[in-house]
Amino acid sequence: MFAWHTIRTFCVVMLCLPLLHLGIVVSRDVAAKLDSSPDAWLHEVEAYARLDQGMTMPENPVVVVGGRRVKQWEGLHNILAAETVLMRGMGDATIEDINHHYKRLVAYYRPSTVVFLPSDSEFHIRDSKSEQEYMRAIRALAETDTQHGGNWSLILFVPIKTPLRPSDHGKIDIIAQELQAFSTDDERIAAIDANPLLALADGAPNPAYFRPDGSGLNEAGYVRLGLLLDDALAEGFSTR
């Protein structure tokens, strides 16, 4: 027979294990946010590599990359039923982080289409880009895509306006115009602005499409993004 205090100690330890695990995960996420190096997300890239080892590689998939907003996007494969979809989000990754890991995160799959969905990390948390800096990063991403010999399409979502950060809205309007102009110059590239479909009549972000935090999209918001992406692919922004 085990002594009562031994049993009690064992039970307390078992109850604390989930909290300990949560603390480790949160600490790692906080450390990654504070680390400006793209290698802050190396553990996630390696996790995808391990996942790939256990699966049959799809032929010419649609690869969706970005930060937390991509990691929270569920159900896209149901909307893009005719496509194989790989979601490759990394923490609070920025354009530069995606660019750094592009070979393993994107080019490795030889996709039909690459989709980039930015998160708030472009303007907050990990970076504080101006409109000009954002577009320079996008051009660098497109150049990296070209250097990897990709003949696939590149679809760029305009940054999403959120109820939480109205100070970003003017900047995002300028970026939307710049992205449209940039995509016009290259038939492989398309820009999607989901903001009109996520807005109220006055143009402000509609809280009905966002989580209670006012930043993350909810299921209804993601459905709208998915339908826009489906339309873009149907219009020919897929090389398959």
DSSP-assigned states of every residue in 115-144: EEE--GGGTSTT----HHHHHHHHHHHHHH
Alpha-carbon distances, residue 13 vs 6, 18, 19, 136 (angstroms) = 11, 10, 10, 51
Contacts of 64 (CB under 8 A, 6+ apart): 70, 73, 76, 85, 86, 87, 88, 89, 115, 116, 117
Instruction: Find the mean pLDDT for residues 15-21.
Output: 49
Q: What is the pLDDT of residues 146-183, one digit of tens each?
A: 998 778 999 999 999 999 999 999 999 999 999 999 99
Count the helices and strands in the chain (H runs, E runs): 9, 5
Domains of the chain: 35-234 (3.40.50.1110)
CA 201 to chain centre: 27
Contact 191, 182 (CB under 8 A): yes
Radius of gyration of the chain (CA): 20
**14 CB-near residues (< 8 Å, 6+ apart):** none
pLDDT tens column, 183-237: 999 999 999 999 999 999 999 999 999 999 999 999 999 999 999 999 999 987 5
Contacts of 206 (CB under 8 A, 6+ apart): 198, 199, 200
Residue 89 φ/ψ, nearest 5 degrees = -90, 150
pLDDT over 70 at 9, yes or no? no
Q: What angle do CA 62, 179, 177 make, to 5 degrees?
A: 140
Predicted structure pTM score: 0.85
Which segment of 1-5, 85-89, 106-110, 117-121 scores lowest on mean pLDDT? 1-5
* pLDDT tens-digit map of 96-133: 999 999 999 999 999 999 999 999 999 999 999 999 99
DSSP, collapsed to helix, strand or coil, labels residue 86 as strand
